[in-house]
């Protein structure tokens, strides 16, 4: 393997002595050769196996020639929409378009199309009709079977069909992409590559995978696409089956029928990577930067978030309903060795712009460094049971010592001033550990002034739908965190992530959350309104109004105005939210929270505004009370008194 960026132009190919590429990789992001970017990992893995890979980054989808700048690949085109789903990348939950794209040079918006994977696939098919097309990445992985699309409010077909691709490599993809490459290299027609784990293919003949005696290879027939379109409960049932077949040890092939006798078949996932395999992937010769052609545009903003961070694991057994990680990476945690992470840290320290701070050491959940129990690597995960929800499983292996030792080694490296943890701590798992040594070191060494945690809500019915622990668990965590800070002489804070309008949340639950924040004396600066992204349990509940595991109905807030009210309640102290908060309280029958008592959220309208001459006095905001006579000392003194009283209440 040669050191340097992969070719992005014909001139690069000439300079590197490449006459023909084996794979042309079309990506929706800027080309960043860093292991936090999926396209970098896949291209470097293929290179390590001797394949020549070129990159076409953010081609002009209105010009079919933009897809041909590197010529016709010998084996296949690869496509990835980017590190984020292109629709999430482009739109807020309100469906308003974002103004910037962190994965584009200079942060410019509009350099990739909506539904990028589909558009790129059709662009290739228009120019190269007979070249195999393999799609992957988060966008393809989470849309591999029929899925609800929030932006069009419709049930879309498998992305395999809409993109006109031949195969999907779903999940993380390192193993499956190599097996696909080797199959193509051996001369197997892409239409016959139907045997590789971690892939999805189309066929008109399913006789070989149904009706057999071996249950492991006997496919499950999911509800047909047209049936799910007409009957939402069938889609909910289908997703429940899919969710129970995300484990590589127990999963069976899944078959989804489409009109005209077409079937989309999902093979079981790839087996988890061994530690040595993970190490080999992260030891590949990444340039750890964006392509130099982006320098004049100011680089790629997304790199700054991860450049000085270390990935230590993948997979998550947390099981949050609104998270797609189980569907993408699986529940079995895979980890890198200390030696591999230290090697990467030492390379990072030598970079000229390293200031002594490692920004993060983690993954989907930072404090998961091993499978939740030993049987998972032999028998797989439990199909009908979660590891942490609603209570930690008795078989759960709770141990932070490996992670603690890793952090100690990183702290001891010459040139390292501080090692932070920012990728998220699962607080219920932390509390389940009877040994407090990691918790103490977390508070002492790895918090940058404030620790971000994700209780998400406090209402039991909502937490149950979210797959999150009950409120009392978070309260115990807060108490212990504060105690450790006091013992260590630290003044560090908690920043709780909260979510509004999640399925199951009515105005009643939203008001309860506002009351909790009132008693806490905290108003969050940011609130995440529930975002229905593809292939999560919460999105299925949102789209169907049904729990996919129980079949029970679930309340879903879809009305934009009610969503605004639920969000405003969390930030009820913001004067701009007054009207929405008042309306929400009246609709919820909670007029008792409008008044002057200590438990009230807002004051009555007629007491909030008073007329003084022709000027309106806003007592809720209290920036300044304007009077007709500016020299009226009595009025000025009254203003000061009102402001001081209000400020004291806010501090309390």
Give the C-alpha distances (Å, rounded to integers) separating 547 from 320, 410, 452, 504. 14, 44, 29, 10
pLDDT digits (tens, 9 = 90+) for 272-298: 999 999 999 999 999 999 999 999 999
- 161: helix, strand or coil: helix
Report the distance separating Cα 320 and Cα 431, nearest Å: 17
pLDDT of residue 523: 86
Give 300's contacts (C-beta < 8 A, 6+ positions apart).
Answer: 29, 30, 32, 102, 103, 104, 105, 290, 294
Give the C-alpha distances (Å, rounded to integers) separating 189 from 53, 59, 124, 170. 20, 27, 18, 20
Place of tokens 């047209």: 226
Cis bond leading into 390, ω under 30°?
Answer: yes
Diameter of the chain measured on Cα atoms:
94
The answer to whether 323 is a known ligand-binding residue is yes
Confidence of residue 603 (pLDDT cuts 50, 70, 90): very high
Q: Is the pLDDT of residue 615 over 50?
A: no
- 450: helix, strand or coil: strand
Report the distance separating Cα 175 and Cα 159, nearest Å: 21
Share of the chain above pLDDT 90, in %: 86
Lowest mean pLDDT among 2-6, 595-599, 602-606, 637-641: 637-641
Lowest mean pLDDT among 123-137, 158-172, 512-526, 539-553: 512-526
Q: Is the pLDDT of residue 339 over 70?
A: yes
Average pLDDT over residues 467-494: 96
Q: Is the pLDDT of residue 623 over 70?
A: no
Burial of 151-181, coded b for 16+ CB within 10 Å and e otherwise, reads eeeebbbbbbbbbbbbbbbbbbbbbbbbbbb
Report the distance separating Cα 545 and Cα 552, nearest Å: 8
Average pLDDT over residues 127-143: 97
The answer to whether 316 is a known ligand-binding residue is yes
Burial category of 373 from C-beta neighbours within 10 Å (exposed 0-12, middle 13-18, buried 19 and up)? middle
Average pLDDT over residues 41-57: 98
pLDDT digits (tens, 9 = 90+) for 226-247: 999 999 999 999 999 999 999 9
Q: Is the pLDDT of residue 522 over 70?
A: yes
Share of the chain above pLDDT 70, in %: 92
Contact 341, 406 (CB under 8 A): yes
pLDDT of residue 625: 36
Contact 326, 57 (CB under 8 A): no
Confidence of residue 326 (pLDDT cuts 50, 70, 90): confident
- 275: helix, strand or coil: helix
Q: Is the pLDDT of residue 401 over 50?
A: yes
Lowest mean pLDDT among 5-14, 218-227, 616-625: 616-625
Which helix (H) or strand (E) segment is 53 a member of? strand 53-57
Cα-Cα-Cα-Cα dihedral of 62, 65, 67, 69, to 10°?
A: -140
| Domains detected in the chain | 10-198 (3.40.50.2300), 203-256 (no CATH), 481-602 (no CATH), 611-651 (no CATH)
Q: Where are the beta strands (DSSP E) in 501-549?
A: 528-529
Cα-Cα-Cα-Cα dihedral of 429, 433, 437, 439, to 10°?
A: 30
- 253: helix, strand or coil: coil
CB atoms within 10 A of CB 562: 19
Q: Is the pLDDT of residue 639 over 70?
A: no
pLDDT of residue 632: 41
Backbone Cα Rg of the chain = 27
Give the C-alpha distances (Å, rounded to integers) separating 259 from 60, 146, 595. 32, 13, 60
Of 352 and 215, the structure prediction assigns the larger pLDDT to 352
Structure-token pair, residue 500: 């509004």
pLDDT of residue 530: 97
CA 560 to chain centre: 23
DSSP 537-592: HHHHHHHHSB-TTT--B------HHHHHHHHHHHTTTSGGGHHHHHHHHHHTT-GG
Question: Phi and psi (nearest 5°) for 626?
Answer: -95, 135
Report the distance separating Cα 251 and Cα 144, nearest Å: 16
Q: Is the pLDDT of residue 38 over 90?
A: yes
pLDDT of residue 635: 39
Structure-token pair, residue 512: 């309860």
Report the distance separating Cα 216 and Cα 441, nearest Å: 45
Q: Is the pLDDT of residue 617 over 70?
A: no
pLDDT of residue 621: 35
Q: Is the pLDDT of residue 104 over 60?
A: yes
Q: Which of 388, 387, 138, 142 is nearest to 242 (CA)?
A: 142
CA 24 to chain centre: 27
Report the distance separating Cα 106 and Cα 93, nearest Å: 24
CB atoms within 10 A of CB 441: 18
Contact 29, 83 (CB under 8 A): yes
Q: Is the pLDDT of residue 213 over 80?
A: no
Q: Is the pLDDT of residue 444 over 80?
A: yes
- 626: helix, strand or coil: coil
Structure-token pair, residue 463: 């937490």
Burial of 464-485, coded b for 16+ CB within 10 Å and e otherwise, reads bbbbbbbbebbeebbebbeebb
In the chain the first and final C-alpha atoms are separated, in Å, by 61
Q: Is the pLDDT of residue 647 over 70?
A: no
pLDDT of residue 383: 84
Report the distance separating Cα 451 and Cα 22, nearest Å: 46
Average pLDDT over residues 540-558: 97
Structure-token pair, residue 368: 């998961």
Report the distance separating Cα 365 and Cα 311, nearest Å: 11
pLDDT of residue 527: 86
Confidence of residue 374 (pLDDT cuts 50, 70, 90): confident
Give 647's contacts (C-beta < 8 A, 6+ positions apart).
Answer: 622
Q: In the Cβ-directed half-sphere of 112, how many Cα atoms lie within 13 Å?
A: 35
pLDDT of residue 210: 80
Structure-token pair, residue 197: 């784990």
Average pLDDT over residues 530-552: 97
State the pTM of this model: 0.90
Q: Is the pLDDT of residue 1 over 90?
A: no
Average pLDDT for the chain: 92
Average pLDDT over residues 358-366: 95
């Amino acid at each position: 393997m040669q050191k340097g960026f992969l070719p992005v132009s014909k001139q690069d190919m000439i300079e590197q002595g490449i006459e023909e590429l084996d794979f042309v990789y079309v990506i929706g992001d800027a080309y960043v050769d860093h292991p936090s970017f999926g396209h970098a990992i896949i291209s470097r893995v293929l290179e390590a196996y001797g394949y020549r890979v070129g990159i076409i980054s953010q081609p002009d989808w209105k010009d079919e020639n933009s897809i041909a700048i590197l010529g016709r690949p010998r084996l296949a085109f690869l496509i990835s929409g980017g590190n984020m789903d292109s629709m999430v990348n482009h739109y807020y939950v309100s469906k308003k378009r974002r103004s910037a794209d962190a994965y584009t040079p200079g942060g410019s918006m509009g350099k990739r199309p909506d539904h990028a994977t589909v558009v790129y696939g059709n662009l290739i098919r228009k120019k190269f009709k007979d070249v195999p097309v393999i799609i992957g990445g988060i966008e393809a992985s989470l849309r591999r079977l029929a899925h609800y699309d929030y932006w069009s409010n419709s049930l879309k077909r498998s992305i395999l069909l809409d993109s006109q691709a031949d195969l999907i490599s779903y999940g993380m993809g390192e193993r499956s992409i190599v097996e696909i490459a080797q199959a193509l290299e051996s001369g197997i027609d892409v239409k016959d590559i139907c045997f590789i784990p971690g892939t999805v293919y189309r066929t008109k003949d399913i006789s070989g995978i149904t009706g057999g005696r071996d249950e492991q290879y006997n496919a499950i027939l999911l509800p047909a696409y047209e049936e799910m379109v007409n009957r939402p409960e069938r889609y909910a049932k289908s997703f429940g089956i899919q969710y129970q077949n995300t484990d590589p040890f127990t999963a069976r092939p899944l078959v989804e029928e489409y009109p005209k006798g077409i079937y989309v078949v999902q093979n079981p996932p790839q087996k988890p990577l061994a530690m040595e395999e993970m190490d080999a992937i992260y030891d590949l010769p990444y340039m750890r930067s964006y392509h130099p052609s982006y320098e004049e545009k100011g680089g790629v903003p997304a790199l700054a978030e991860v450049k000085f961070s270390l990935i230590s694991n993948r997979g998550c057994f947390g099981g949050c309903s609104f998270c797609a990680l189980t569907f993408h990476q699986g529940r079995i945690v895979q980890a890198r060795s200390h030696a591999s992470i230290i090697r990467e840290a030492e390379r990072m320290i030598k970079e000229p712009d390293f200031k002594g701070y490692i920004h993060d050491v983690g993954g989907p959940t930072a404090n998961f460094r091993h499978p939740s129990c030993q049987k998972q690597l032999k028998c797989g995960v439990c199909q009908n049971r979660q590891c942490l929800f609603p209570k930690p499983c008795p078989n759960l292996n709770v141990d932070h010592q490996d992670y603690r030792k890793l952090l100690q080694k990183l702290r001891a490296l010459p040139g390292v001033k501080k090692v932070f943890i920012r990728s998220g701590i699962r607080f219920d798992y932390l509390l389940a550990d009877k040994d407090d040594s990691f918790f103490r070191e977390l508070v002492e060494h790895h918090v940058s002034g404030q620790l971000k945690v994700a209780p998400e809500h406090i209402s039991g019915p909502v937490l149950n739908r979210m797959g999150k622990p009950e409120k009392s668990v978070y309260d115990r965590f807060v108490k212990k965190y504060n105690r450790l800070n006091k013992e260590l002489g630290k003044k560090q804070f908690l920043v709780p992530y909260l979510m509004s309008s999640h399925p199951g949340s009515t105005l009643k639950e939203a008001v309860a959350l506002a009351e909790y924040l009132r008693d806490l004396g905290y108003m969050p600066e940011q609130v995440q309104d529930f975002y229905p992204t593809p292939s999560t349990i919460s999105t299925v509940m949102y789209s169907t109004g049904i729990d996919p595991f129980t079949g029970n109905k679930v309340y879903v807030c879809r009305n934009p105005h009610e969503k605004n009210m639920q969000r405003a309640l969390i930030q009820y102290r913001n004067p701009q939210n007054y009207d929405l908060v008042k309306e929400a309280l009246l609709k919820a029958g909670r007029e008792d929270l409008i008044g002057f008592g200590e438990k009230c959220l807002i004051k009555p309208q007629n007491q909030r505004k008073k007329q003084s001459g022709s000027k309106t006095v806003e007592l809720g905001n209290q920036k300044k009370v304007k009077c007709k006579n500016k020299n009226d000392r009595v009025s000025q003194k009254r203003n000061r008194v009102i402001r001081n009283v209000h400020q004291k209440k806010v501090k309390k």
